[in-house]
A and B are shown apart, each in its own frame.
Chain A
């Protein structure tokens, strides 16, 4: 547990010291929110959640890429790959909660006649999904530019595709549209259930995939034997 906490602490320190990145991270979802604030209040909630997901995935992608250089050394120093993955997830999930909180407060103040609990759920799921999604991209695409382009494609598709089509369910943030509709348009509980199932499934699957990718990349090679 100590090792996980030390990794989480150092990952947080590294992120906090990138002040410009932090400011952009904080303002990025606001731009999404304001873009639809004038014409469609409900849509601005959906957009801010998508903006949060995009910002967090990008932060996770870059944090994961930056850690690639030191992780083999940490592995040799006695860390297991799970220590490294869980520590980094913990740090980024914490950042996600801190990033989401002011936007939830903004919605509380600015929006009325919506289901606030459901909006909180969308934000929580967004944090849970976005972080392992970004880390997974950094694990399978070693160059940041490639990861960024994939991220751009996924979020772009998420914004332009019809949420009612079956194909959009394969996108990681589909749940935000579904639960968002439940929260804003007061639809039946089916939207909530479908969104919750999809969001939780993606959160679990992506987290497992990140752990597997790290275990493979940082595995002890078969030719090396410790006596």
Chain B
């Protein structure tokens, strides 16, 4: 691994370990200076980028846990009394959720608790038996699977979704590639979606949901197939979107990030209440 590749990898790893941009720049600059002067191999001097970044993060007392935004904006999504039954079985029972601009809501629950059903109802893809959803602004939706076209490459996906959002071809490609870069992914220009790995296809899915900067983002377990690094990148992106004033709803069954969201909707409670 040459100096530049190692430094680039270190930059990504520091970000994943929650080190802020200023400190990351400082650490990387110092490492670059040292490597330039010594002429030694970075792996020999510092070790693998991941291990070195972890050591830096540990020396700072752990990742930078940001408190939730104190002053969330206006209501962007308001779901009221959502009830859904399948063949006589109540899956969702009078579920309410309010998400404001600059907030993240996590929807959690056991398998079959109705997490995806709730999100599909919020997206307007499924009708509830009772209840209403009000969306103030535009909506972006990332399904758990599907949502891409097998025979189109990533750029063609960007153009297709972008046209719906009113973006021209070049602008859609630029926006798509910028979104992909934030997930440490460079979309291959000619690879069709069917040839992408499961995790990479989910990255494409996520980037598509973000195209056109919708005000409300509904993400249904979008990290399926992500490796650890991409999973951390994903959460950093979600926090960045929150900081940019977006309302984000994430369906998840991974509870280790719940301390970093603003609202938790536990659908297991809804089922238990019904029982």
Contacts and interface: CB of A to CB of B under 8 A. Distances in A.
A40 interface: no
B34 interface: no
B121 A77 contact: no
A221 B152 contact: no
A17 B135 CA distance: 38
A76 B160 contact: no
A226 B211 contact: no
Contact of B165 (A18, A77, A223, A226): A77
A223 B121 contact: yes
B46 interface: no
Most A-side CB within 10 Å, residue of B125, B148, B212:
B125
Interface string A45-76: 00000000000000000000011011011101
A222 B152 contact: no
Contacts of B146: 69-70
B149 A223 contact: no
Given A6-B163, A7-B160, A77 B212 contact: yes
Contact of A73 (B126, B135, B143): B143
A69 B147 contact: yes
A79 interface: yes
Given A10-B160, A220-B124, A70 B135 contact: no
A117 interface: no
Contacts of B152: 10, 13-14
A17 B192 contact: yes
Interface residues of A, number: 28
Nearest to B147: A73
A212 to B, nearest CB: 18
Contact of A77 (B124, B150, B164, B192): B164
Contacts of A223: 121, 124, 127-128, 131-133
B147 A225 contact: no
Interface in B112-144: 121-128, 131-136, 139-141, 143
B164 A221 contact: no
A194 interface: no
Interface string B211-224: 11000000000000
Contact of B124 (A3, A67, A224): A224
A174 to B, nearest CB: 34
A180 B211 CA distance: 51
Contacts of A18: 151
Most B-side CB within 10 Å, residue of A69, A77, A78, A225:
A77
B124 A70 contact: no
6 smallest CB-CB distances across A and B, nearest first, come from A77-B164, A78-B164, A224-B124, A6-B163, A14-B151, A69-B146
Interface of B: 121-128, 131-136, 139-141, 143, 146-152, 156, 159-161, 163-166, 192, 208, 211-212
Interface of A: 2-3, 6-7, 10, 13-14, 17-18, 66-67, 69-70, 72-74, 76-79, 220-227
16 contacts: A6-B159, A10-B149, A17-B192, A66-B150, A70-B149, A76-B123, A77-B161, A77-B165, A78-B164, A78-B212, A220-B124, A221-B127, A223-B124, A224-B122, A225-B134, A226-B136
